[in-house]
Structure 1
Amino acid sequence: MIFTSIIAMTAVVFLSRYIFLEPRLPVKLNVKAQRLLSYSSPAVLTAIWAPIVFVHDEQLALSLNNPYLIAAILAALVAWKTNNVIATTVISMGCFFILNTVIN
């Protein structure tokens, strides 16, 4: 049963992507649908990182003892100022590892 579910989910994901990525297929989205879908990536990424940064032990963690929050704020500032993905990643990860070692 589990194997069948995995195969079915794989087929659904592959086909849903193949329909839109294969240039020879005559499926085209209108401008409104394309604009609507442009918001999906930021929404999914926010749904992934927000609980990691803001929730610890099933409680909202908005204190300066939260290394995730401090590193996320630093990452946002570095990304805003530098527009450099590598610098943002290295600086924020370094800050997080240092803070996580000191605080914990």
Structure 2
Amino acid sequence: MIWLTIAAMALLVFASRYVFLEPKLPLRLTAQTQKLLSYSSPAVLTAIWAPIVFLPDGELMLSYKNPYLIAALFAILLAWRTKNVLLTAVLSMALFFIIS
């Protein structure tokens, strides 16, 4: 049953990508739809990281004792200053492991 679920999800993901990426298919999105879809990635990523950073133990924790929050703020500042994704990821993870 697990393999069937994995195969079905793989097929679903492939089909949804193929429909929009294959240039020979007649399906085209309007400019307004493309603009609307451009917000989906940040929204999904925010839905993933926000509970981890702000609710590490299931409760709102906005203090200097929250290593997730410290590392996230460090990552934001580092990304803003350096504009280097790899450096930001490595240094912010290193900081998190040091303080946690």
Partners of 1:28 and 1:86 in 2: CA distance: 34
Report the counterpart of residue 56 of structure 1 in structure 2: 56
Partners of 1:56 and 1:88 in 2: CA distance: 21
Letter in 1 for 2:13: V
> Could you list the runs of 5+ residues in structure 2 that have no partner in the other structure?
none
Report the counterpart of residue 41 of structure 2 in structure 1: 41
Change in 2 beyond 3 A, CA 1:23/1:93: same
After the TM superposition, which of the residue ranges 80-89 and 1-10 deviates more from structure 2? Answer: 1-10
Letter in 2 for 1:35: K
Report the counterpart of residue 72 of structure 2 in structure 1: 72
RMSD: 1.4
Partners of 2:65 and 2:85 in 1: CA distance: 26
After the TM superposition, which of the residue ranges 14-23 and 31-40 deviates more from structure 2? Answer: 14-23
Partners of 1:99 and 1:77 in 2: CA distance: 17
Letter in 2 for 1:87: L
Partners of 1:6 and 1:91 in 2: CA distance: 34
How far apart are residue 78 of structure 1 and its match?
Answer: 0.6
Report the counterpart of residue 85 of structure 2 in structure 1: 85
Question: What is the aligned residue count?
Answer: 100
